[in-house]
Structure 1
Amino acid sequence: MFISSFLQFAKQLQPPIFVKIFSVALVLTSALSVSSLPADAEKGRRKVVHVLEDESGAVIVQTAPGKVVTHRGGSITLPCRFHHEPENTDPARIRIKWTKVTDALQFEDVFVALGKQQRVFGSYRGRVFLEQAGPGDASVIIQNVTLEDYGRYECEVTNDMEDDTGFVNLDLEGVVFPYYPREGRYKLNYHQAEDACKHQDAILASHSQLHKAWLDGLDWCNAGWLEDGSVQYPISHPRDECGRKDTPAGVRNYGYRHKEDERYDAFCFTSKLNGKVYFLKRFKKVNYAEAMKACVRDGSAVAKVGQLYAAWKFQLLDRCEAGWLEDGSIRYPIVNPRSRCGGSQPGVRHLGFPDKKFRLYGVYCFRKSTDETAGGTKGVSRARLNCERALTFQV
């Protein structure tokens, strides 16, 4: 009733005044409708109210379609441009905010700028800064990209009460591999699977990463956890022991499972290495403890499973000799298949988890790169300078 009477009064005024008053009324109406919802329904929800004052003040954001692609340790620009209508907007009143968005619609702050004031959050500190390629450029550069940087990012540009958003998907070149521990198959709940991948220099794979791996020929008959909490497995060659022979090839999906109580294997994802994996040449084979000491004496460490897969993928490491890895498993990488090296398909062969004391094999070592420029340091000092200058302000 109050809003209706208010608008009747406003219509008797001059048109410019009516537009302003109508906008205020619109805000009041939105506020009343929001406040009428139950408190529990609003918890955790993100609300954006757009208020237009006649035809002016619009913010338009444009981002790149598709995906931008890099690899771990690389640098990448997340492109985002904006313009105003009209164009004579004070740059000091423009706020640029970048946020990472997960599949569960959770938001992680990455970067925010208001005029010359800038702030970078969490693990992005020292690695993220504005590209500053001219007026209307809200693009950011991420230096030394990590596995965890993979995902979807939101670019939001705000001018007073006007805003617009765009999205950029960051993809990484990499490899997906199935993993299970020494204890055996189907022994990991979701959190254990997450930890297992991290311990092997990897992260839990996403559905899109697993799907791409399936398109590239990955065939695995055991179900494993993915990053979003679902359990899936890829079948390129249907057979009765893997869900019936007469079902089509594809990524089989068990849906979202209970993260604490249910147990499966894991599908891990890793990317390019900042270092090198190599087979340590020795005159004799060694047990696990001797293998660890041998790598240390050579200035390295025993390679992790994810590191061996990355070396197979990116270094094209091809070695027909079985060797110890950090988790106590025995594996070897084959790029060019031959009959004496485990079959007709390329891949990393897995011989299981033998007795660490009495079984003797070679060993794969990993030596980290000493090149300080790996991953790109150009711009890092600039990013740190921006951080030092930054002031704390309302996000």
Structure 2
Amino acid sequence: MFSKRLRPLASVQTFFVVCILTFALSVTSLPADLEKGRRKVVHVLEDDSGAVIVQTAPGKVVTHRGGSITLPCRFHHEPENTDPSRIRIKWTKVTDALQFEDVFVALGRQQRVFGSYKGRVFLEQAGPGDASVIIQNVTLEDYGRYECEVTNDMEDDTGFVNLDLEGVVFPYYPREGRYKLNYHQAEDACKRQDAILASHSQLHKAWLEGLDWCNAGWLEDGSVQYPIAHPREQCGRKDTPAGVRNYGYRHLEDEHYDAFCFTSKLNGKVYFLKRFKKVNYAEAVKACVRDGSVVAKVGQLYAAWKFQLLDRCEAGWLEDGSIRYPIVNPRSRCGGAQPGVRHLGFADKKFRLYGVYCFRKSKDESADGAGKTKSRTDSLASAKSSNRNPINATRVI
């Protein structure tokens, strides 16, 4: 009697699974032009078989430019004796809500790395169920959100990992003056100064650390914002609470603002070139070259101030023609009571005379700035060793 009552329920379950499979097939058969720019994860869970569960870091992983970092991702599948050669692991970077950049894919022993990640991304291979990848020689552009997708035939699951970089945010405007940059020009301006456009989270963190700037600037998501630590009338009214002011998303071509740039640890050193006399811009360039260096970029000076603790109460030329100097220990004769990089504006390159800040690449770098290539075995061993080192280890928070 009891078993007869179960049969209609079983029929309903069978019909439900068939409907799900029919829907999944109909989705995958959409025209290609409708599928462009879209990603779908269709989960088909059947009784006691086929489930794939992916687990990733709950917070974010943190490293710095030039370091190595593991993006953690583990998976469990049922049944456990699934053929490993049929497990597909794919890593992509989420560039915005509907855009993904391929990073790495593996199917059994076959592996492929894409674009700028070639030669830098490898599977960690720490045992069964490990889909983690190691990124070596991390760049500023590696910052962001990554998706780990594991597929077993028709069943799959995904997880996300946020990669953060230790660094510094700085405001930037060109010689032409304030509010002269559209979004694309701001993006290029940051790149020319050894930086990238900052994210909202990076700007918010900088504000928490005391960044106060009264001019609005572009961020990497196309929004325009500015951080106010000390409210005042000329910066959105004195009675307005401190915080990050937000103009929202602006027209990328037609509207013009400053830029907020982000840079990280240097693969080299910034120093003030000691000379008996001050020089104009052209003489500054030649002086650095004679010393085996180049004139430092704005981002490099900020990174040196942040990570080298470079402290110099003497103004000097930078690559963009601006005059700046870094102060870690504030004193009255060096521009005020707050630490930071002092900016004296843009000077006449021909007639004004100053010192110069130079940048010298690390000796273990090649002429084009890339690190020397290691063998895969040595690289993986080095990356795992650095993750275990309590001094140099990247961290998960």
What TM-score, normalized by structure 2, do the two folds share?
0.88
Pick from 359, 376, 380 the counterpart of residue 381 of structure 1. 376
> 1:6 aligns to what?
none
SS in 2 for 1:102: strand
Report which stretch shifted further, 134-143 or 48-57.
48-57
What TM-score, normalized by structure 1, do the two folds share?
0.89
Q: 1:194 to 1:81 in 2, by over 3 A?
A: same
TM-superposed deviation, 1:26: 2.2
> 2:22 aligns to what?
28
Question: Quick check: 1:343 aligned with 2:365?
Answer: no
TM-superposed deviation, 1:55: 2.4
Q: 1:53 to 1:20 in 2, by over 3 A?
A: farther
Q: Distance in 2 between matches of 1:271 and 1:327?
A: 19
Q: Is the 8 A contact 1:74 1:375 kept in 2?
A: no
> 1:255 aligns to what?
248
Question: Quick check: 1:110 aligned with 2:103?
Answer: yes
Q: Distance in 1 between matches of 2:21 and 2:251?
A: 42
Letter of the 1:342 counterpart: G
Q: Is the 8 A contact 1:218 1:235 kept in 2?
A: yes
Q: 1:308 to 1:53 in 2, by over 3 A?
A: same
Taking the TM superposition and a 5 Å limit, the aligned residue runs for 1:8-27 are 23-27=17-21
Q: Is the 8 A contact 1:73 1:375 kept in 2?
A: no
Residue-by-residue CA offset, 1:250-304 (whole Å, 9 max, x unaligned): 0000000000000000000000000000000000000000000000000000000
Aligned sequence identity (%)? 87
Q: Distance in 2 between matches of 1:31 and 1:73?
A: 44
Letter of the 1:381 counterpart: R
Taking the TM superposition and a 5 Å limit, the aligned residue runs for 1:295-334 are 295-334=288-327
Q: Is the 8 A contact 2:42 2:156 kept in 1?
A: no
Question: Quick check: 1:236 aligned with 2:236?
Answer: no
Question: Quick check: 1:282 aligned with 2:290?
Answer: no
Q: Distance in 1 between matches of 2:351 and 2:303?
A: 29
TM-superposed deviation, 1:80: 0.5
Letter of the 2:17 counterpart: S
Q: Distance in 1 between matches of 2:116 and 2:144?
A: 15
Q: Is the 8 A contact 1:277 1:307 kept in 2?
A: yes
> 1:50 aligns to what?
43
> 1:7 aligns to what?
none
Residue-by-residue CA offset, 1:161-184 (whole Å, 9 max, x unaligned): 010111100000000000000000
Report which stretch shifted further, 335-344 or 43-52.
43-52
Question: Quick check: 1:71 aligned with 2:64?
Answer: yes
TM-superposed deviation, 1:370: 1.0
> 1:198 aligns to what?
191
Q: 1:92 to 1:235 in 2, by over 3 A?
A: same
Unpaired stretches in structure 1, ≥5 consecutive residues: 1-10, 386-395
TM-superposed deviation, 1:12: 8.4
SS in 2 for 1:253: strand
Unpaired stretches in structure 2, ≥5 consecutive residues: 1-5, 381-397
TM-superposed deviation, 1:354: 1.0
TM-superposed deviation, 1:39: 8.4
Q: 1:44 to 1:121 in 2, by over 3 A?
A: same
Q: 1:327 to 1:144 in 2, by over 3 A?
A: same
TM-superposed deviation, 1:54: 1.9
Q: How big is the alpha-carbon RMSD for the aligned residues of Structure 1 and Structure 2?
A: 2.6
Q: Distance in 1 between matches of 2:373 and 2:282?
A: 41
Letter of the 1:194 counterpart: E
